Amino acid sequence: MTDTTDLTVSGESLSYPEDLCPPDNFNMVSTWIYRSSFPKKKNFSFLKKLGLKSILTLILEDYPDQNMKFLKENNVTLFQFGIAGNKEPFVQIPDDKICAALAVLLDRRNHPILIHCNKGKHRTGCLIGCLRKLQQWSHTSIFDEYRRFSHPKSRSMDQQFIELFDSREAWKVIDPKWIPDWKTLGHHAGM
Amino acid sequence: MTDTTDLTVSGESLSYPEDLCPPDNFNMVSTWIYRSSFPKKKNFSFLKKLGLKSILTLILEDYPDQNMKFLKENNVTLFQFGIAGNKEPFVQIPDDKICAALAVLLDRRNHPILIHCNKGKHRTGCLIGCLRKLQQWSHTSIFDEYRRFSHPKSRSMDQQFIELFDSREAWKVIDPKWIPDWKTLGHHAGM
């Protein structure tokens, strides 16, 4: 294994694994979908274990060289739907980008996939919130999850964005042929 | 579908799905492993969609009738490793119960499986923390996750329990034949 260091203790050769460091705010969202803050170099050995096929980033900026290298070495496709990471006063989150991002997320050819922005709190939280609407979660449950990951910086405007998001717009651009086999997807998906 | 209600709007017959309510503090921990607070009746339609094979509860008390009925109707096996839900001053969490619970969790014949206690904060958080040790997560990442779900009632003694837990004790009772095919499991599992 590449993530172990060999130590010799009392004449015996023992292999001690290095600790794995998931990115801050890492979580499994659903089967084959993960979320996190911006992945740093120290997180790469953990991310390798996920066997990612894609990363979906919501940052506007170019991806740093070391992250591009990680993608290339591990054959990971990058999807970028750049959204400004504004603080309030709020700039409207573009619905069309969220819909396009959901279409990527719900295409199992892209799985396993990691979603991230910078802190994994607001832009990522909004996208996951909209995904939960497609999964027919109640708004209370969706906001609970949003706040768990955005704490202590939850934004009411993010929650309003999620509440007002019309999931029918997303279903228009999602290809039913490739949606994952989750029992938790709504009836719009024909499941 | 059992979770839709038929409405007639403007002469057309449309089917509107009811909102699904995951239990409080619900989360996917790893593929086929979920966590939550104590599941109530309003959560059953959501839980059905998970296609659970087992539930692992850490409460001491008998399971209520309506929950027993849910188990029976959905062919769900109940594993109970009762631990007192003490507030501090702390009663020691029994290592042997945590090890036995981990052996159940890491037996893929029991998947999909839901772990719960009462609030899904402390006992569940300790068990997940120990699972993360088997997955070789750094303590920082483990405590981050513990606090995300126990907030605002995080307990330092829970974190100390997790830190001091010797994962080798758990590997002694885990049957390598049935461990799940996660790339994130440590080298002790021979993966």
For B38-93, how does the pLDDT look when each residue is reduced to its tens digit (9 = 90+)? 999 999 999 999 999 999 999 999 999 999 999 999 999 999 999 987 766 567 78
CB A68 within 8 A of CB A77: no
In whole angstroms, give the CA distance from residue B132 to residue A52.
19
Question: Which residues of chain A lie closer than 8 angstroms to B151, CB-CB?
Answer: 148, 151
B117 is known as an active-site residue: yes
Q: What is the mean pLDDT of residues B150-159?
A: 93
| Confidence band of B181 (pLDDT split at 50, 70, 90) | confident
The catalytic position among A99, A117, A126, A130 is A117
Pairing of strands A4-9, A12-17: antiparallel
Q: Is the dihedral of CA A30, A126, A63, A82 positive or negative?
A: positive
ipTM for the complex shown: 0.85
| Confidence band of A92 (pLDDT split at 50, 70, 90) | confident
Of the candidates B38, B44, B109, B40, the residue with the CA atom closest to the CA atom of residue B77: B109
Per-residue model confidence (pLDDT) at position B9: 41
Per-residue model confidence (pLDDT) at position A88: 61
pLDDT in tens, B108-139: 999 999 999 999 999 999 999 999 999 999 99
Per cent of chain B over pLDDT 90 is: 77
Phi, psi values for residue B92, rounded to 5°: -50, 130
Q: What is the value of pTM for the model shown?
A: 0.88
Residue A136 CA: distances (Å) to CA of A115, A183, B68, B111: 20, 11, 26, 23
CB B134 within 8 A of CB B188: yes
Closest-CA distance of chain B to residue A91, Å: 28
Per-residue model confidence (pLDDT) at position B163: 95
Closest-CA distance of chain A to residue B47, Å: 9
Per-residue model confidence (pLDDT) at position A5: 39
| Confidence band of B187 (pLDDT split at 50, 70, 90) | very low
Per-residue model confidence (pLDDT) at position B90: 60
**Residue B16 CB coordination number (10 Å):** 11
Q: Which two tokens stand for residue B139?
A: 């303590």
Q: Which two tokens stand for residue B41?
A: 């009746």
